[in-house]
Amino acid sequence: MEERAEDRVADAPPENWVDTHAPAFLRPYARLARLDRPIGWWLLLLPCWWSLALASDDFPSLVLLALFFIGSVAMRGAGCTWNDIVDRDIDAAVARTRARPIPSGAVSVKQAWGFLALQCLFGLLVLLTFNNFAIALGFSSLLLVAIYPFMKRITNWPQLVLGLAFNWGALMGWAAVRGELSLAPILLYLGAVAWTVGYDTIYAHQDKEDDALIGVKSSALKLGASTAKWLWVFYGLMIAALLAAGALAGLGFFFYPVVALAAALLVWQIVTLDIDDPVRCLRLFRSNRDFGLVVFVAIVAGQIA
């Protein structure tokens, strides 16, 4: 049976591989895991890679880079599946999300639970390849992941809880290399949390009308027209924390000019933001993958040059 255009998720990139190449029976599950929207696993993965690079004396281990890639794709999918199970009634009331697999009926709640368990199993297999400290640290993030979907019902700052959960990799990468934590990865983590609050506030402006109607809270609704001013704060904290983490880790000269380029990308987001243009908000949100890759290059450059 040919798939209808209205069955496709609204904010997926056009001509993504799920819509064009995935077998029809797998598409609802691929969409549930957000495999049609890779920006999410990039944003989960990149803090892991930053932390790996920060903890390494040279280019980070290719094996660890690959393990964090696999784990990020699996756990991002698991987190999205859990979020969609919890939010299925809210998603049905929001224009951008009502085509998601659960509210659209493409996947039942029972099937979603089974798919969630499968993805968590993949994530667990990756986690168990790390040292004992990193394994314990990984398990300690589960509470944040579990409570995040409920935060939009009780606080104007669900983006903060998302940041705390989504950037756990900024601690995990260091722990996987060194078997402990120090101030450098903690600063990196705190900066990444501020970064996430910023970019997810931009993202949330896409849904602000529907959110206001159904009573869902967000930093986009809280900050409103002041969003751009607050982005200077959030992104400023990110760059300050990144510079401090790099200095504590003893990174070399070339770290700093590349960080300046990364900072310029954040400035570009702020000065070109139009909170009333959902297409623009989505584009700026997605540009954070490029920012994250530049930060990774900056850290690696500081280690090897």
The answer to the question of residue 16 being in a domain is no
The answer to the question of residue 257 being in a domain is yes
The mean per-residue pLDDT over the stretch 48-63 comes to: 96
The answer to the question of residue 113 being in a domain is yes
**pLDDT score recorded for residue 287:** 97
Is residue 219 a contact partner of residue 156, using CB atoms and an 8 Å limit?
yes
171: nearest Cα among 185, 190, 157, 154? 185
The answer to the question of residue 148 being in a domain is yes
15: nearest Cα among 32, 29, 36? 36
- What is the CATH classification number for the domain harbouring 201? 1.10.357.140
Give the integer Cα–Cα distance in Å for 74 and 243.
30
- pLDDT, averaged across the chain: 92
Q: What is the number of structural domains in the chain?
A: 1
The answer to the question of residue 184 being in a domain is yes
187: nearest Cα among 137, 241, 233? 241
The mean per-residue pLDDT over the stretch 109-118 comes to: 96
Domain limits at 123?
Answer: 22-304
pLDDT-derived band at 3 (thresholds 50, 70, 90) equals: very low
| pLDDT at 6 > cutoff 50 | no
Long-range own/partner contacts, residues 222-226 (CB < 8 A, 24 or more apart): 222/156, 222/157, 224/275, 225/275
DSSP-assigned letters across all residues of 104-155: HTSS-HHHHHHHHHHHHHHHHHHHTTS-HHHHHHHHTTHHHHHHHHHHTTT-
230: nearest Cα among 168, 156, 300, 282? 156
Least confident span in 10-24, 206-220, 226-240, 252-266? 10-24
Q: What does the pLDDT look like over 224-245, one tens digit per residue?
A: 999 999 999 999 999 999 999 9
Least confident span in 95-104, 161-170, 198-207? 95-104
The mean per-residue pLDDT over the stretch 159-181 comes to: 97
The answer to the question of residue 289 being in a domain is yes
The mean per-residue pLDDT over the stretch 189-198 comes to: 98
Q: Which amino acid is at 156?
A: N
How many CB atoms lie under 10 A from the CB of residue 79? 26
The answer to the question of residue 249 being in a domain is yes
The answer to the question of residue 1 being in a domain is no
